DNA sequence: TCCATATTTCAATAATCCTTGAACTGTTGA
DNA sequence: TCAACAGTTCAAGGATTATTGAAATATGGA
């Protein structure tokens, strides 16, 4: 994740509908969701959801794949991780204050720590 | 950090000059930087830097304090940490892929791990 | 008090982004 | 092949955001 990509990603996340989509797709997992289902959940028109999905795909935060008539969108976990990484990249130059809360959240994903899912 | 704040923060970070400012302030530490110095580094006009600094302050990602003639801006590490946390909040619902890289970066801030600064 | 410095505010313009509805493309089943 | 379904694309308009330069505010020193 370089600065150019990060700028696009932050821009993508700075719009209500798009932030909602990303969070929905993160939760929905590798199975993803069809564009229509996303539109319904987000309560926006097909053409509008298409506009935002396209923007999110351009940012690399989500990916698409056709499945029969539907187009399935999934979160790109690697890109999201990269963005978090980018945001924290500088913080270790003497400022653990930023990393601290991140480390805290990350802790719940520790290999052995699966007991506290959700 | 709620969704409303996150939206504003992502919007704040989605502009080149502002992303540059934030990264500069994170590195510059608690001492911060004067508006003029920031403008010079970022190579933009005083009125333009003022516009962006105001936007960043509105987002909560930076704070200001007057010091004699200068106005000193500093990064708000807590807000940045909160944003990282917000971005990762959902990922533990079965998707350690997002947290993994974050945990990796965060690791360098571990209490005992100060040997690997920068 | 007056001037210089440091920065902000304001108004106008330019640029970008979002929404909408109509038309278009691809896919499936009758 | 045709109709229905699932989405996308496009153009127009509205809304928001960014840039610019001129004027205003605040501070400190002569």
Core vs surface per residue B19-50: b (16+ CB within 10 A) or e: bbbbbbbbebeeebbebebbbeebebeeeebe
Residue-wise pLDDT for A3-61, tens only, equals: 999 999 999 999 999 999 999 999 898 899 999 999 999 999 999 999 999 999 999 99
pLDDT grade, residue A114 (50/70/90)? Answer: very low
Contact (CB<8Å) B106/A88: yes
Contact (CB<8Å) B110/A116: no
Nucleotide nearest to B67 (CA to C1'): D27
Closest CA to B10 of A108, A80, A58, A93: A80
Helix axes B16-28, A3-13, angle to 10 degrees: 110
Residue A113 has pLDDT above 50, yes or no: no
Q: How far is the CA of B32 from the C1' of C6 (A)?
A: 16
Residue A72 has pLDDT above 70, yes or no: yes
Q: Is A39 helix (H, G, I), strand (E, B) or coil?
A: helix
Strand D contacted by B65 CB (< 7 A)? no
Task: Locate B37 and state its tokens.
Answer: 């110095």
Residue-wise pLDDT for B97-111, tens only, equals: 666 655 665 555 544
Question: What pLDDT, on a 0 to 100 scale, did the predictor assign at position A116?
Answer: 36
pLDDT grade, residue B116 (50/70/90)? Answer: very low
Q: Is B55 helix (H, G, I), strand (E, B) or coil?
A: helix
Surface-to-core class of residue B88, CB atoms within 10 Å of its CB (0-12 exposed, 13-18 middle, 19+ buried): buried
User: Which positions of chain D lie under 7 Å from any protein Cβ?
Assistant: 5-10, 17-23, 26-28
Contacts of B118 in chain A (CB under 8 A): 92-93
Contact (CB<8Å) A14/B10: yes
Question: What pLDDT, on a 0 to 100 scale, did the predictor assign at position A101?
Answer: 59
Residue-wise pLDDT for B31-59, tens only, equals: 999 999 999 999 999 999 999 999 999 99
- How many contacts (CB atoms, under 8 Å) link A and B? 170
Which uninterrupted H or E stretch holds B4?
Answer: helix B3-13
Residues contacting residue A82 through CB under 8 Å, at least 6 positions apart? A1, A5, B101
pLDDT grade, residue A89 (50/70/90)? Answer: confident
The class level of CATH for B3-107 reads mainly alpha
Q: How far is the CA of A80 from the C1' of D6 (A)?
A: 28
Residue-wise pLDDT for A49-66, tens only, equals: 999 999 999 999 999 999
The single-letter DSSP state of residue A101 is: H
Contacts of A115 in chain B (CB under 8 A): none
Mean pLDDT of chain A: 84
């Amino acid at each position: 994740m370089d600065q150019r990509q990060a700028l696009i990603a932050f821009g993508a996340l700075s719009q209500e509908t798009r932030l909602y989509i990303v969070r929905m797709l993160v939760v929905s997992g590798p199975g993803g969701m069809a564009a229509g289902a996303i539109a319904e959940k987000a309560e926006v028109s097909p053409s509008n959801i298409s506009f935002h999905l396209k923007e999110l795909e351009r940012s690399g935060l989500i990916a698409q794949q056709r499945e029969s008539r539907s187009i399935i969108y999934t979160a790109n976990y690697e890109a999201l991780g990269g963005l978090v990484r980018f945001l924290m990249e500088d913080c270790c130059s003497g400022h653990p204050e930023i990393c601290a809360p991140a480390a805290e959240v990350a802790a719940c994903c520790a290999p052995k720590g699966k007991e506290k899912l959700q």
